[in-house]
Amino acid sequence: MDHHHETDPRSPEVRTEALEDLLVEKGIVDRSRVDALIERFENDLGPMVGARLVAKAWLSPEFRTRLLDDADEVLATEDIQGAETGPVMDHIEVKANEPGVHNVVVCTLCSCYPWALLGLPPNWYKSPEYRARVVREPRKVLDEMGLSLEADTEVRVWDSSSETRFLVLPEQPEGTDHLDLEELAHLVSRDSMIGVARAEKP
């Protein structure tokens, strides 16, 4: 699947890049520092909030049940590092992968996404191609992204909106029962919480 697509010159992404280019040209900012900051937020800080939720659900059946029943209440009351609720926290629903069932998230209208839990959305998530195709042919799209599912696995596609964001609770990898919360959290990628990948094996 080709994640690249044509961008509107009026789009926020293009305008932001133009502004960054201008600031770099004038020596106001250093591009490498901007790239490093974005990389850290996208791959470390952001996803680790959601990853800790997943890891705690793996460790505690009671917590897992509460998270699936009412994620908003869990986020409001539980001490999950980085998951403090506030005006940027959307209504969240968590959908659990299990044997025979695989969940994947999309936003068909725009690119609604649980920023507070996953950090910055990947470019492919916002692309018209992903948004259109994953609804029509989810199994094929997942296969193209490197995730092959068993033929009898039911694929459920969840369409995020301005009112509700979704997060996938991936299955815990085998042989990880001895790991603690932080060790488990590092097995949980952003993509696994969108549903286009599995949690990593240690």
Among this protein's residues, is 60 annotated catalytic? no
The one catalytic residue in 112, 160, 189, 192 is 112
> DSSP of the chain, one letter per residue?
--------TTSHHHHHHHHHHHHHHTTSS-HHHHHHHHHHIIIIIHHHHHHHHHHHHHH-HHHHHHHHH-HHHHHHHS--TT---STTPPEEEEEE-BTTEEEEEE-SSS----HHHH-SPPHHHHSHHHHHHHHH-HHHHHHHTT----TTPEEEEEE--SSEEEEEEPPPPTT-TT--HHHHHTT--HHHHHTSSPPPP-
Among this protein's residues, is 192 annotated catalytic? no
The one catalytic residue in 11, 32, 60, 110 is 110
Among this protein's residues, is 11 annotated catalytic? no
Q: Could you give the CA distance from residue 36 to residue 22 in angstroms, rounded to a whole number? A: 18
Among this protein's residues, is 111 annotated catalytic? yes
Instruction: Of 43, 80, 96, 29, give the one whose Cα is nearest residue 182.
Output: 80
The one catalytic residue in 11, 32, 60, 107 is 107
Could you tell me if 50 and 193 are in contact, meaning their C-beta atoms sit under 8 angstroms apart?
yes
Hey, which residues are catalytic here? 107, 110-112
